[in-house]
Amino acid sequence: MKKIEVEKLGKVFGKPSRQVLSLLDQGWDRERLMKEKGFALGLWDVSFSVEEGEILVVMGLSGSGKSTLIRCLNRLIEPTAGSILIDGTDVRGLNEAQLREFRQTRFGMVFQRFALFPHRTVIQNVAYGLEIHGESKDTCRKKAEDALALVGLKGWEDNYPDQLSGGMQQRVGLARALAIDPGILLMDEAFSALDPLIRKEMQEELLQLQSRVGKTIVFITHDLDEALKLGDKIIILKDGRLVQQGTPEEILTNPADDYVEKFVEDVDMSKVLTASSIMKKAYSITWPKDGPKTALREMEEVGISSIFVVDRKRLLLGIVNADDASELIRKGISDLKEILKEPSRVTPDTSLTELFALESFPAAVVDESGVLKGAIVRGNIIAGLNRER
């Protein structure tokens, strides 16, 4: 089931009449609406959906409506039009008490400038949402401690926020959102106030955390590198309207208009493209079932001079080349073990820049558990770069 489904969402500030809203459907833009009717357009005609466990990145320049969008989801800003379904429930139909309950249990929000309560200790900050929901003291303490451990801040419970660095403060912000165990994390430019190195680190950690806790995340940013790194899906807003949505690759390779192109052109392709996006099928034989003769025949068939060797679970064991294999046949030995060599190993998200630096090809692309996923030959890298430029 879809976790979040947003249909024709709109926000016009002030109290616009139906007739004013219909002008927007006729294609009036923000500037014209302001000039001729005096209403400020926040968002118009924005539709998208997010699957459970997915990270959706909302991108746009400042003033494009991203902050309005994320605040419409939990009605910190009251939408003017459209529908928002969370787990199938219409958020706009909730009354005040239901909305509070919804916010207490479904949404964890993380803010750009952290918004930690300066008069509360770290653990009291993290427990805030639980306290509001009326959990017992013990439950609050326990869940808050768990959340703090999750973001790596064990031992800082009794400090005050202003005793922590920016990066650590935002971890507290993240822990506060995670403590209530919400289905959805709303992250409003959560890493924008951090310096670049810490920011990279937090992005990595968010991805790791995501793989463990599996939250659905709506992440707002104006930074394309961040969007590409985090997003399973990206939507791009301009002047309150949606201009493109798609996977990072789709947006890179096929920008919808000049606005998107402007974002995209600054990206260093060699950093964005990863091993997984340019790797080819890896040819392999299975040890101990296959011997040197099978290896040679396989290589001849597809026209390559070396082949990967895996075990029955497709765990990579090594690589053998054609010369060594024929030598083995001449000697009458059938076990490949003797001629196994260690190939270069890379992970699926190794960047193109790092691939350039490899010394031997083909390189094997393996996942964390060592299973062979694909192969990279030097030609792929060059082709990959050219394709994108």
263 binds another protein per the rule CB under 8 A: no
**By CB under 8 A, is residue 78 in contact with another protein?**
no
**115 makes contact with another protein (CB under 8 A):** yes
Instruction: Give the Cβ contact number of residue 27 at 10 Å.
Output: 10
Cα separation, 15 vs 187, in Å, equals 28
Least distance (Å) between residue 104 CB and another protein: 4
Q: Closest separation between CB of residue 74 and another protein, Å?
A: 6
CA–CA separation, 317 and 340 (whole Å): 8
State how far the alpha carbon of 297 is from the alpha carbons of 282, 292, 305, 324, 362, in Å: 16, 9, 11, 14, 19
Asked if 139 touches another protein (CB under 8 A), the answer is no
Q: How many Å apart are CA 340 and CA 344, to the nearest integer?
A: 13
Q: Least distance in Å: CB of 237 to another protein? A: 20
Site mask for another protein (CB under 8 A), range 141-180, x = bound: -------------------x---------------x---x
Could you tell me if 249 and 37 are in contact, meaning their C-beta atoms sit under 8 angstroms apart?
no
Among 32, 90, 93, 132, binds another protein (CB under 8 A): 132
Residue type (1 letter), 40: A
Query: Nearest-CA neighbor of 267 among 304, 234, 302?
Result: 234
- Residue closer to another protein by CB (options 36, 101) is 101
Query: Cα separations (Å) of 45 from 12, 33, 280?
Result: 11, 15, 40
Q: Could you say whether residue 99 binds another protein (CB under 8 A)? A: yes
CA distance 120 to 320: 62
User: Which region among 10-18, 43-51, 102-110, 374-382 touches another protein (by CB under 8 A)?
Assistant: 102-110
- Contacts (CB under 8 A) with another protein, residues 56-75: 74
Chain contacts with another protein (rule: CB under 8 A): 74, 76, 99-105, 107, 109, 111, 113, 115-119, 128-129, 131-133, 160, 176, 180, 186
